[in-house]
Amino acid sequence: MRFLKSAGSEVIGLFVADWVQTAVIVAIVAAAWYAISGLHAMPLPVLVGLILLLAAQHVWFAVAEARRDARTKPLPSPSPR
Amino acid sequence: MGAQLFTFGAAFLGSAVESVEALTIVLAVGLTRGWRAPLYGTVAALVSLAVLVVVFGQLIVQRVPESSLKLVIGTLLLLFGLRWLHKAVLRSAGVVAMHDEEHAYQQTVSELQGAVSRRDWVGFVIAFKGVFLEGIEVVFIVVAVGGTSKYFPEAVAGGLLAMLVVAIVGVVVRKPLARVPENTLKYAVGIILTSLGTFWAAEGMGASWPFDFVSIFVLVAAYLGASQLAVMLVRRRPVMA
């Protein structure tokens, strides 16, 4: 049972590290899909937008995690005099 | 030909990184408790993984319509690649510690030394679990890269060759492959998988890329640029007082 649990969380962990980031990526892909398939928008501008948004969220979430990490890390203890 | 090579290369590199991690666990078990049980565990895990590849590979290639397949697998590949890339950026910027096979090896060895009084199946289970769980990522890479691009045999060949090369090197060296630039490899594979995921997801939406497969190189350049920008911004972040 423990093995199945860890296999299950391993499979989810393949795709999800941060649920918010995952939701943002899926939303970007869904918006591009809707623009092309639903609204019949010109594909090239949508593709350019898709790449830019995916690249931008990548930068945003990396910087955000680094900031979170800096806030939560304990301050270095003062050096002995 | 270019697309076939790219598929083979992506499957090879991704599988090699995961195989190094699996090898570390098998070596730790084998050198601590003897080789028979971990080898049985490894073989059992490899057979289970092969069944997964055959079953899912065939199901995916034969049953799912091509556009849905590209959209779903492309999106999953995108999520998978971006997760690797995200970690690689944080490691490159010094926020997260570099993955260290020597450390992982020592940790497994110390866990096993605490369990010496148990029977030999411990070695079997630990090797099986390590190879199977690391191998799930190999299976996903091979199925996603091969199933979507219609170059399934090339992807399977890339994955198998990677495992074989890592296993041979492991048998020869008989210690964890700490010198493999694992973090750099993960960075590169993250960019390749993210680019392939974007490419296929967009094709699944019904869009066709200018210059077809060649546009993947533009995607690679875009994600490389973005991740370098991320590393630069993370390194420049203000130190909290």
pLDDT digits over A1-60, tens only? 676 777 777 778 878 888 999 999 999 999 999 999 999 999 999 999 999 999 999 999
- Please state, in angstroms and as integers, the Cα–Cα distance from residue A50 to each residue in A38, B191, B230, following that order: 16, 16, 18
Query: A30: nearest CA in chain B?
Result: B205
Query: B94: nearest CA in chain A?
Result: A66
Q: Which of B154, B217, B152 is nearest to B191 (CA)?
A: B217
- How many CA atoms lie less than 13 Å away from B190 in the CB half-sphere? 24
Contacts of B136 in chain A (CB under 8 A): 7, 10-11, 14
Q: Which of B39, B182, B167 is nearest to B97 (CA)?
A: B182
Query: B194: nearest CA in chain A?
Result: A54
Contacts of B209 in chain A (CB under 8 A): 47
- CB-nearest to B230 from A29, A51, A58 is A58
Tokens of B212: 């077809």
Contacts of A65 in chain B (CB under 8 A): 86, 90, 95
Identify the pLDDT of residue A57: 96
SS3 B53: helix
Identify the pLDDT of residue B169: 87
Where would I find the H helices in chain B? 2-33, 36-63, 66-92, 101-113, 121-149, 152-173, 182-205, 215-235
Identify the pLDDT of residue B116: 52
Low-confidence residues in chain B, pLDDT < 50: 241
How far away is chain A from the Cα of B233, in angstroms, using its nearest Cα?
A: 7
Backbone angles phi, psi at B150, to 5 degrees: 70, 15
- Asked if A50 and B140 come within 8 Å (Cβ–Cβ), the reply is no
Q: How many residues does chain B have?
A: 241
Contacts of B202 in chain A (CB under 8 A): 32, 43, 47, 50
